[in-house]
Structure 1
Amino acid sequence: MAPTGRTVTDATDGDVADGAPASDDLDRPGVSEEPPEPDLDELLRVVFGMSPAELDVCLCVMEHGTLTTAELTERVGYDRSVVARHLNHLADLGVVEKRRQILDRGGDVYVYTPEPPETVRRRFRETFLRWAAAGVDRIDDLSREKVEGLAEAESATEWTVFREP
């Protein structure tokens, strides 16, 4: 049987394969089979570094189509520099297109147009998967550091098998 809190990679001992939690993990108090569904606002803030203001700007562009920084500033009620900074981040994420438009009276202005919903979903999904993979790697690193620390402790001689060469 796999130890509690570990995953198994082979189903020869009756546990779940493919890195799923061992069955005894699911029986522990506080461990559920279904994690809570993430709130979309929270997910966008955590994964993409969006503040509530940036999320407001993003949603405004998505709802109203092509807008200038000035038009967005009026609609969302944030300072122009805040809106401009958020629009640049959204353009970097690839969820809005930033382009220069020549004005009839002379000069130019940047306008921001939402990318198609399927493009936005794909880009968010790709970025999320990279973020999740990096998070899993970080968790694995922390776990390895903890085991290596135990192996190096004088009182944990039975852990020497986990020391890396």
Structure 2
Amino acid sequence: MSDNPKKTTGDQDTSPFVQEAEQDIDLTDRPYDVYGCQTCDNVILSLHGCGEGMTCHGEEMVPVTEAKMEIQPPNLRDVLLNVFGLPKVGLDICLCVIDDGPLSPDEVAQQLGYDESTIRRYLNKLTEVGLLTKMQLNREDGGFVNVYQPIDIEEMRRESLIGFYLWAGEAATLIEDANLTKEDYVDGSYEGDLNEIFWESFRGGDEPAE
């Protein structure tokens, strides 16, 4: 939890939730595999080794063991925020419900100390994402209260990976479209400045960093 638990947002929390990873990635020692087609440019990411089961063009795909482009591995905070729109406060709330649920927003607020409006917002977000479910319990004095509980852990594991793969697929599509735009420019399909043409092609997305 952040140093100021009454804040209504956890986006600015600077506590060492997960340390930034700055080392180069060694593809021969990772818990996933990247496979490449021997005929075309197709590449596949697999979280579990598939042996000879990964094929393309009728041929066995081969593991990719070297990458010329260096990247900085993301930390968990970056992944949860960018893929699912969940900052640390959202994960705090999700973990609290997984540990002690079913819980009402008021009970979560009492445990974590976050503002109740923040609790309600992220409980709804977590329900929309599919990590939690909401149900109504009748009060002894009449009326009802909304309580939240986690989905089955195995289902959560599978669905969160599927959700990430869908996000990664959309990201890969953007990267491929960007590469094709640059390729078309080099081939003379566009006239004008590449920078202007490139960002005009992706209007509505992120602007280039200043």
TM (normalized to structure 1)?
0.72
Stretches of structure 2 that go unaligned for 5 or more consecutive residues are: 1-35, 45-64, 192-210
The structure-2 alpha-carbon separation of the partners of 1:27 and 1:86, relative to structure 1 and needing over 3 Å to count, comes to closer
Out of 69, 89, 94, the position equivalent to 2:105 is 69
Identify the residue that residue 92 of structure 2 maps to in structure 1: 56
TM-fit CA distance, 1:43: 2.0
Unpaired runs of 5+ residues, structure 1, are 1-7, 155-165
Aligned to 2:80: 44
Cα-to-partner distance string for 1:29-86 (whole Å, 9 max, x where unaligned):
x649xx84x5334322221110111111111111112100000011111111111010
Q: Which residue does the alignment assign to 1:142? A: 178
- After superposing on structure 2, the runs of 4+ consecutive aligned residues of structure 1 that deviate more than 4 Å are none
Amino acid at match of 1:130: L
Output one character per residue of 1:81-113: Cα deviation in whole Å (capped at 9) or x when no partner: 111010011111111110111100111110001
Larger fraction in helix: 1
The size of the alignment, in residue pairs, is 138
**RMSD after superposition:** 3.0
Q: Distance in 2 between matches of 1:150 and 1:123?
A: 41
Tell me, in whole angstroms, the C-alpha distance in 1 between the residues paired with 2:112 and 2:131: 18
Instruction: Give the Cα–Cα distance (whole angstroms) in 1 for the partners of residues 184 and 159 of structure 2.
Output: 37
TM-score, scaled relative to structure 2: 0.57
Give the SS at the match of 1:111: strand
Identity %: 31
**3-state DSSP of counterpart to 1:106:** coil
